[in-house]
Amino acid sequence: MNQRLFAIGDIHGCFNAFRTLVEQKIQIKKSDKIILLGDYIDRGTHSKEVIDYIFGLKNNGFDIIPLMGNHEAMLLEARNNNGHLLRWIQNGGSETLKSFGISSLKGIESKYLDFFQGLSYYFAFEEYLFVHAGFNDEVNDPFEDRYHMIWKCREKYKHPSLQDKTIVHGHCPISELLCKERLRSNNQVINIDTGCVYGEISGYGKLTALELRSKVIFTI
C-alpha cells in the first residue's frame, strides 16, 4: 500500500479552509497518515468546528495525529490558573470562547478538555519529526523540553538525535512563497505555517498541507 504522509500547518479556527483542504485539495483517503501540527483554535472564528471536524475524521477511521500547539497549551493554562487567562484572551482566546458559545472556560465540555490534554508534543515517523515549533538543540534530551516544542522555532539543528531527521513544523508564520522556496532547497527543517488567519497580510492567509513522499504542497 502506497501510504501518503501529510502534515498540515496551523489552522487557527479557519474551519472552511481546513475542510476544503482535506476533502477537495488532498482528497483524504483511509490509507493516508495526516499529522496536524497544532494551533487548531484562537484568532479565527470557528475553533469549535475545527475540533469537531478532527473528532469526525478520527471517528470515521482516518489516520489523524493531532499535536499540541502553544494555543492549546495556553487554553489549558488559562483553564487551570486564572493568572494565565488574560494572556490567552489577548492571543485570540476570546474568539474561541465565542465559537464554543461560552463566556468562561469553566463552560467547556470535558471531551474538548480531554482532547487538548491528550495531545502529543511531537511525533516521530520514519526519517521525520513532526512538532508544532521546534526542539531545544542544546540539552541532553531534546524530546523532554516541551516548552521549546510549542514556542521556539529553529532553522538548523546539530544535536545528534536530530541531525539526520527532517523536522516539519508550524508556529512561525511565513509566506507561501518562502515555504515553497525552502522546500525546494531541501532544508532539514520545513516550516508549513503559511498564516491562514493572517489574510490581511500580503503573501499570507493560506492553509498548507505538505505530502512528504512527493514533496507536493497543497494550499488554500
Q: Give all domains of the chain, ordered by start, each with its CATH number.
A: 5-219 (3.60.21.10)
For residue 45, pLDDT beyond 80: yes
Residue type, 124: A
For residue 1, pLDDT beyond 80: no
What does the pLDDT read at residue 61?
97
DSSP H helices, 81-174, are: 85-88, 94-100, 110-117, 146-151, 160-163
In angstroms, the Cα distances linking 157 to 149, 165, 185 are 13, 9, 16
What does the pLDDT read at residue 2?
76
Contact 51, 115 (CB under 8 A): yes
Average pLDDT over residues 190-214: 95
For residue 215, pLDDT beyond 70: yes
Contact 122, 143 (CB under 8 A): yes
Average pLDDT over residues 58-84: 97
Q: Which strands, in side-by-side order, build the sheet including 122-125?
A: 122-125, 128-131, 166-169, 189-191
Mind listing the pLDDT tens digit for each residue in 119-129? Answer: 999 999 999 99
Query: Rounded to two decimals, what is the model's pTM?
Result: 0.97
Q: Is 37 helix (H, G, I), strand (E, B) or coil?
A: coil
Average pLDDT over residues 171-177: 96
For residue 63, pLDDT beyond 70: yes
Task: Identify which has the larger pLDDT, 1 or 204.
Answer: 204
